Structure 1
Amino acid sequence: MILPDGCSDIPAGKVVAIVTHLEMTARPAPRPDPPGGWSLRRVEMPPLDWFRDLYRRVGEEWLWVSRIRMANAELASHLHSPRLEVYALVDAGGEEEGLLELDFREPGQCEIVMFGITAKLVGTGAGRWLMNRALEIAWARPIERLWLHTCTFDHPAALAFYQRSGFRACRRQIEVTDDPRLDGTVPRDVAKHVPLIE
């Protein structure tokens, strides 16, 4: 369905995001790492409780809910795929404060499925450091395309950050979904940048 030009009403209880897909088809020039004591830990066969905890801490403010709503069997099948890799960014104190998920299941491609850091690391350079690791890992494989998507629910600097990292926009979508703050999936007081309309 193609939305008509102009404004379209959205029912109360729904939220709407503009989703932008971005891609790169060649490895970009490396960017310098910012100073910081971070490390990256690959998590083989991620435990579901562990994954959901880190996913919530990174993404709850940005209405990341797909993995919270996913049934355990479906989430386990996804996370435990042999061609999917999950990493945690670990800070200097040994705490896991960032999430990176790379999907190599499509031949010749890699999708950055999840990418984010917790609020306490925003503005520290940890996001740049994590992206540098993501690019190194992905382009060390025989891929021709690396892609991801972001949306207007995400941090307002996310789109520009991805573009500075070498991604270019290639597709746009509108996503309409039930507001997860109304059914208890996430707390009612998160995502103040997305008005709550009951």
Structure 2
Amino acid sequence: MADTKLPETIDVTVTFLEMARPPAQYAPLPYNRQIALLRVRDIPVHYYRYLIDRVGRKWHWVNALRLSDEEMEEGLRKPERDIRVLYVDGAPAGFFDLKTDLPEEVELAYFGLMEHATGQGLGRWFLGSAVAAAWSYEPQKVSVQTCTLDHPAALPLYQKIGFSPIGQKREVVHPMSFAERSAVVMR
């Protein structure tokens, strides 16, 4: 897989969103599927890299992948992390990562489905599960950010479930080549 047309930088608009109270209702669990959502304790660095890569490859999630194993390990071992992996029909299908280190706020730092799990009616339920997990820490607010590189349905879905935009900023993303991404993920 060659990516010779990969730009050196990509300009993006990041939208910051907050939710001040839990949603009145959550989407129901999809039926006729074997679904498991498991909280991961002591996640191996290589598995976290795999999740970030498989969920975020299309959306240029590269910041976490560029961390050294030691830096990533340090972050993953913090007791304020709540990482949950979605399995559909026995296979990994997505994950979310909550940062709970501030008593008044829980950040939904990463959330997404793997490409094979999109378009199956899982997104709204899965996001609701992430939001419910965030509110279980009893914060004053839950925050998330999305950008113009994310799935086009991300921002409308966040808003539909109850997040409100509070600001935007411009950033530059330095995409990873397939070779660079492969080297990092296969460490």
Q: Which structure 1 residue ranges, 5 or more long, are not aligned? A: 1-11, 188-198
Aligned to 1:7: none
Q: Give the secondary structure class of the aligned counterpart of 2:94.
A: strand
Aligned to 2:152: 156
Q: Give the secondary structure class of the aligned counterpart of 2:108.
A: strand
Of 139, 162, 166, the residue aligned with 1:166 is 162
Q: Which structure 2 residue ranges, 5 or more long, are not aligned? A: 1-6
Aligned to 1:82: 79
CA shift for structure 1 position 182: 8.1
1:60-87 per-position Cα deviation (integer Å, ceiling 9, x unaligned): 0110111110111111111110011111
Letter in 1 for 2:18: E
Coordinate RMSD, CA, aligned: 1.7
Matches within 5 A, 1:118-137: 118-137=114-133
- Contact 2:62/2:175, CA 8 A, preserved across alignment: no
Answering whether residue 8 of structure 2 is matched by residue 18 of structure 1, we say no
Q: Give the secondary structure class of the aligned counterpart of 2:155.
A: helix
1:104-145 per-position Cα deviation (integer Å, ceiling 9, x unaligned): 001111000010001111111211121121122111222001
CA distance in 2, matches of 1:79, 1:59: 18
- Matched positions, count: 175
Q: Give the secondary structure class of the aligned counterpart of 2:102.
A: coil
Matches within 5 A, 1:9-158: 13-33=8-28, 34-35=30-31, 36-92=33-89, 94-158=90-154
Runs of 4 or more, structure 1, over 4 Å off, are none
